[in-house]
């Protein structure tokens, strides 16, 4: 009887490269708030700030450092207005207007209303608007109404994902470019004529598979199952096979943090170094959120 080979190598035991990440994060100290780590790799709850009040330069710089290092930071019990939400986001850059999601009275705020009739479809790993030539720096999501149980959001540390790749796989992807596109997601709701018009405004974006964070200089994996169409210069079969191998690494739980929402909770995440997944396990209960997205830089 012949043995059945696994579809991929099975990993037993610790992901040892997480230890120095945990040690680095444990050594962080902030002057204006407490940062409580939520996992070894990424995520911290920020305590001691009221985001309805002006923060000042020194506090903002402390928040930005926590944001970059922890990659996603969480705030609880923040009873803020839409104007407060936008003012907080503008501390970190210019705000994006999403070209495919319908906006309300404030065009920079995207409102996600899920209920019995509108289901949550964000339950695949992704980095926001990676199909843009200049993608997002970060997103700030605020919870208004949450289900009694479920509706959590997960983030994965794409720097840890990259560091954990085998050396031969790192060599294989070094210098390669991936093509990102909106057509197979937001484009599905458009007519052929509308898609063609949007393609003129948002042509496919060519981004390095391995990008370097502009603030830290650390490398991360920058492909995602929703918006990455293929690898430039590879035939479809080879591209699909390589991307599948990379996507499997995104799903490793040791690289993730999971956040349980409450009303007036806020998550602020770095789209340059994380991907996220909104669990769609709460239907038909309602879930109402609002998001602001900060324009970033060209991946390099």
Catalogue the active-site residues.
126, 128, 276, 291
Sheet strand arrangement including 205-208: 205-208, 177-180, 228-231
Nearest-5° angle of CA 76, CA 289, CA 87? 65
**C-alpha 289: how far from its chain's center?**
16
> How far apart, in Å, are the Cα atoms of 192 and each of 24, 94, 183, 189, 287?
50, 31, 10, 10, 32
Nearest in space to 218 (alpha carbons), one of 24, 15, 11: 24
57: its two tokens: 């330069």
Neighbours of 173 (CB within 10 A): 20
- Rounded to whole angstroms, the Cα distance separating 137 from 94 reads 10
- Rounded to whole angstroms, the Cα distance separating 290 from 102 reads 12
Nearest in space to 80 (alpha carbons), one of 264, 269, 262, 214: 264
């Amino acid at each position: 009887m012949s043995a059945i080979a696994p579809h991929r190598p099975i990993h037993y035991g610790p992901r040892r490269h997480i230890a120095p990440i945990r040690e680095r994060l444990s050594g962080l100290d902030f002057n204006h708030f407490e940062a409580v780590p939520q996992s070894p790799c990424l995520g911290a709850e920020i305590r001691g700030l009221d985001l309805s009040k002006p923060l000042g330069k020194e506090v903002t710089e402390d928040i930005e450092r926590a944001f970059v290092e922890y990659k996603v930071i969480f705030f609880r019990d923040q009873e803020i207005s839409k104007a407060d939400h936008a003012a907080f986001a503008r501390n970190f850059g210019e705000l994006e207007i999403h070209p495919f999601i319908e906006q309300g009275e404030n065009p920079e705020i995207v409102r996600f209303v899920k209920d019995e009739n509108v289901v949550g479809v964000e339950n695949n790993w992704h980095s926001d608007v990676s199909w843009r030539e200049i993608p997002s720096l970060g997103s700030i999501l605020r919870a208004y109404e949450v289900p009694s149980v479920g509706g959590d959001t997960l983030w994965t540390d794409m720097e840890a994902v990259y560091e954990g790749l085998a050396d031969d796989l790192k060599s294989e992807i070094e210098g390669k470019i991936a093509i990102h596109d909106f057509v197979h997601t937001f484009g599905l709701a458009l007519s052929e004529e509308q898609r063609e018009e949007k393609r003129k405004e948002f042509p496919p974006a060519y981004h390095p598979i391995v990008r370097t964070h502009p603030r830290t200089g650390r490398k991360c994996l920058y492909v995602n199952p929703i918006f990455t169409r293929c690898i430039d210069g590879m035939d479809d079969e080879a591209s699909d096979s390589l991307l599948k191998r990379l996507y499997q690494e995104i799903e490793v739980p040791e690289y993730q943090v999971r956040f349980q929402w409450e009303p007036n909770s806020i998550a602020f995440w770095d789209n340059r170094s994380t991907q996220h997944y909104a669990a769609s396990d709460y239907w038909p209960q309602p879930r109402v959120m609002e998001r602001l997205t900060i324009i970033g830089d060209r991946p390099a």
